[in-house]
Structure 1
């Protein structure tokens, strides 16, 4: 109490001008303290999305569109950085080694975050430990199709031909240990047959050979096949989603032949491990707002991706756990060994 009395006495002895200055300082002090304690608003500078695919590839087109829409709600732009090569390894490694400061994200596909772990003996990144899931963007169906000249109107007739002449049915894929290759082998195994893979690095090259009759079947993302299907150059035999898709309503689902079967690729956003949780939550919420817009949904569908309109961070984490478990079973069933 004595200290308080001495302080009050000191204030009374100040001149009127000194007392006014003291009052002004006291009034300003709380605001100054709040400013010191406040975290700077995010983002303060451009945000980067790293991709494992080259510019112009399907995932790149999707990522640029999503980034453009997402950037409209942020005061800073989103920059796309393409790091292709090594079956997604180069881009994934670059993203994993980036600072976990909320300014670098990895726009990834199934291969980099799930299947690579089963097809490579060693990876320079850990899909589980090096990243945190942010938001699933969309799912990408795959289609199995045949050249219009190929004498099989559905999967049942394909299986019949393969059984009548074992080893003669060829299928264009991205390779036996890729998403499309493992889908093709899963379908063949369920049908009791075997397809011979003809691997391609470019979808356009694969389609030229299928249309020309040099390869009988093709298994690729529907975005790569839709134009050819609508032009009547190839015939859709099955799509990998659980339900038929509006833009390819005449193509039956694999589930119609094999009940319960669903096998889709996907694309999503991940952050380097250690990224602040509040920034991860913010990006998840902002992406959800974008993906709920009807015009965005329609555009993604045209690009071959079915927008995921609702998925929280915990839900995406659970989704990823399920994907790893599912793919572990697929790889085991097909007898695929890591190299």
Structure 2
């Protein structure tokens, strides 16, 4: 090889080696977009906007939160998957979008495992089994005793058979050895309202949707679905106290389109972790939804997503749900 050609080759390699670092240092130099699958005004929307406000300060750049609700998260997830992998689009993703939809929907127009790269965890959202204030059930044991004596008579409100609440209702009943009447609602708000009003006695919902009614005494919590008790509701037992190993929660993560520059993903992860580990932000998030322990690393988030994907595959099989 001639010396001139060798020099050119060496220079090109040096530039290629430093390009990712340079990209990360200069990024972002324009508006960043954060997509989510929930409507404006929802709990997830409030969380996304709170986090975006903090990241925008760190990045000295505006972040636009774009709501793409509908289709069991498919509309938002598909839009995110098809976005340019240039470091300027992120997806505020739910567990449904990334790990349960493949088991529930035939011909899903995106591949959660191939179309996204993990950025970081946002937090986990416990679910809670609760009853109206006038219910005869004071504990989970009371409920189980009644259900065994009256197979199929106990009505449990949730958001539908293919939602987290619906699937956990069936899984919980199976593991407790009881038969229940799972009552589907078009929204968790409607399910909460009917449970408070006594039209249905039992509710299985995400904790943020029920917590105000629990604190006001209009709903009585019998157990949370996470293995550990929940901060602020330490007197509410975990269902795992009755069913060892029962540990389920919804969760939220931030991902990016596959192919997004590694330097951008790493910086976004680092800054997200700094936001979530701020005590004030963590407290504000807890008031409206998730329990956060920081973003974790990119690798930890990826490993978590793979475990959840496999676990929910087992759950959907166990409760007999097939994709439609």
Partner of 1:128: 113
Partner of 1:148: 133
Contact 2:272 2:295 in 1 (8 A): no
How far does residue 195 in structure 1 lie from its aligned partner after superposition? Answer: 2.0
Counterpart-to-counterpart distance in 2, 1:309 and 1:43: 22
Partner of 1:306: 291
Partner of 1:99: 84
Which of structure 1's runs of 4+ aligned residues deviate more than 3 A? 37-40
The SS at the match of 1:236 is: strand
Aligned residues: 305
RMSD: 1.5
Partner of 2:279: 294
1:173 is aligned to 2:158: yes
Partner of 2:36: 51
Counterpart-to-counterpart distance in 1, 2:181 and 2:63: 42
Counterpart-to-counterpart distance in 2, 1:99 and 1:63: 20
Counterpart-to-counterpart distance in 1, 2:72 and 2:221: 27
Partner of 2:227: 242
Counterpart selection for 1:318 from 277, 300, 303: 303
State the TM-score, normalizing by the size of structure 2: 0.91
1:69-88 Cα distance to aligned partner (Å, 9 max, x none): 11110121111000001010
State the TM-score, normalizing by the size of structure 1: 0.87
How far does residue 194 in structure 1 lie from its aligned partner after superposition? Answer: 2.1
In the TM superposition, 1:1-339 aligns within 5 A as 39=23, 41-339=26-324
Counterpart-to-counterpart distance in 2, 1:207 and 1:134: 33
The SS at the match of 1:326 is: helix
Counterpart-to-counterpart distance in 2, 1:288 and 1:139: 15
- Structure with greater Cα Rg: 1
Counterpart-to-counterpart distance in 1, 2:147 and 2:225: 21
Contact 2:131 2:203 in 1 (8 A): yes
The SS at the match of 2:137 is: coil
The SS at the match of 2:103 is: helix
1:80-103 Cα distance to aligned partner (Å, 9 max, x none): 000001010000000000000000
Unaligned 5+ runs, structure 1: 1-32
How far does residue 310 in structure 1 lie from its aligned partner after superposition? Answer: 5.0
How far does residue 308 in structure 1 lie from its aligned partner after superposition? Answer: 2.6
Unaligned 5+ runs, structure 2: 1-14
